[in-house]
Amino acid sequence: MNFEFNHGPRIISEDHGSGAIGSELGAIGISRPLVVTDQALSAAGVVDPILEGLSDSGYTYVRFDEIEANPTASLVERGTEVALDTDVDGIIAVGGGSTIDTAKAISLLVPNGGDWIAYEGTPNIEHGSLPVIAIPTTIGTGSEVTRASVITDTDRSVKMTTTADELYPDIALLDPTLLQSLPPAVTAATGMDSLTQAIEAYISPGASPITDALAIEATRMIAQNLEPAFSTGDYDVLATMQVATTMGGMAFDDAGLGLVHGMSEPVSGAFHTGHGITNAVLLPSVLEFNLTTCVDEYAALAEAIDVETDGLTRRDTAEELIRVLRDISDDIGIPAGLAELGVEESAIPELAAEASDHINSKNNPREYDTTDLARIYHRAF
């Protein structure tokens, strides 16, 4: 019962809430926002309610819509230049994890300056950050409630993580109406990312009673709603997934993430694979590796998602969880292995060495070495 729980942003969940965003800006000190998004969302009209709401409330804004998957340090610096040149005093991020992570990085770099790669790890922040409102348009990352930003350093072909309390958004605004045009493939990838985050938070040695409650309920909500969200795009199902993602984000922000995320980042950095898809492919193999130390946790997760456990031992129930998670991935079209993502098996030794440097070993329930990581990669191939 000895723990510390940190919670950052104010969370608002409201149908069409994004259209009323103008009413929230003054309270957090934004008079001229930079709207950070991507061109696809702009073209699809997803950003329009936010822009119309700003105009209706009398705000002028600047749009920066150059966000791309696996955003780079140079992109953060380009967005920072736009922010400085246009004299904005806050940021509204509209998009998925790539957009929100980039927006948070820009918010930190504007008042503090320098190159983004200098902020890797847990930097000392002298001048705070610009206020941020995060409006997620996917159901995956939880970045709207975390103090981390993951940005690619192209010179090293690695994803670098920056963690600082100043990266917490001020407001996380959940508006399920923005999810209605979400393609099924994106739902699958981001949904599995969200499920992975909740599971890793639950089994983390850094977990607490509060993170456990958030993580296990998020796991239940996602596991029961992911396939319907993928196949039907039902509004209520997507709204449930959105809230569950935020709950999982709150859990892992405090409890930490384990081997799946630590092993995924080198793969994405080297082979430009999607973050959620890579996590989904690695998840079963990592769960198998951690099984011996997580029997009770896996069994509790299995019971939470209504896995049939009659007549099974705790160990059998834990193994059944892994099988059911594989089935969920198969049902929503997740590739069976890393080879299908274009990963080269010859790169595994290098990936394992890099992953060993990326992972916070305190967040994984079982001890491991580089040889173990290589075996997991081979198992997932």
The DSSP result for 146-212, as a single string, is: -SEEEEEETTTTEEEEEE-GGGS-SEEEE-GGGGTT--HHHHHHHHHHHHHHHHHHHH-TT--HHHH
Cβ within 8 Å of residue 85, ≥6 positions away: none
Q: Residue 224: is its pLDDT beyond 90?
A: yes
Picking from 206, 36, 279, the residue whose alpha carbon sits closest to that of residue 137 is: 36
pLDDT tens sequence across 75-109: 999 999 999 999 999 999 999 999 999 999 999 99
What per-residue confidence (pLDDT) applies to 229?
95
If you search the block for the tokens 């950095």, which residue do you land on? 269
- The strand pairing partners of 35, in sequence order, are 63, 92
Q: CA 254, 338, 379 angle in degrees (round to 5)?
A: 80
How far does CA 83 lie from the centroid of its chain?
Answer: 24
Q: Residue 360: is its pLDDT beyond 70?
A: no
Confidence of residue 2 (pLDDT cuts 50, 70, 90): confident
Identify the residue with better confidence: 205 or 157. Answer: 205
What per-residue confidence (pLDDT) applies to 140?
75
Q: Where are the domains of the chain?
A: 10-179, 184-379
Confidence of residue 156 (pLDDT cuts 50, 70, 90): confident
Separation CA 215–CA 210 (nearest Å): 9
Length of the chain: 381
Confidence of residue 361 (pLDDT cuts 50, 70, 90): low
What per-residue confidence (pLDDT) applies to 352?
95
What per-residue confidence (pLDDT) applies to 309?
85
Picking from 37, 97, 75, 46, the residue whose alpha carbon sits closest to that of residue 278 is: 97
Q: Residue 310: is its pLDDT beyond 90?
A: no
Q: Which secondary structure element, helix H or strand E, spans residue 367, and what is its range? A: none
DSSP calls for 331-344? HTT--SSGGGGT--
What distance, in Å, lies between the first and last C-alpha atoms of the chain?
Answer: 40
Separation CA 203–CA 286 (nearest Å): 12
Q: Residue 301: is its pLDDT beyond 70?
A: yes
pTM greater than the 0.75 cutoff: yes
pLDDT tens sequence across 133-148: 999 998 878 999 999 9
Cβ within 8 Å of residue 357, ≥6 positions away: none
Given the candidates 3.90.1150.10, 3.40.50.12280, 3.40.50.1970, 1.10.390.10, the CATH classification of the domain at 10-179 is: 3.40.50.1970
Q: Which CATH number is associated with domain 184-379?
A: 1.20.1090.10
DSSP designation for 72: B
**346 near 250, Cβ under 8 Å?**
no
Share of the chain above pLDDT 70, in %: 99
If you search the block for the tokens 């942003």, which residue do you land on? 9
Q: What integer best gives the mean pLDDT of the chain?
A: 94
Q: Residue 340: is its pLDDT beyond 70?
A: yes
Q: Residue 186: is its pLDDT beyond 80?
A: yes
Residue 57, Cβ neighbours under 10 Å: how many? Answer: 14
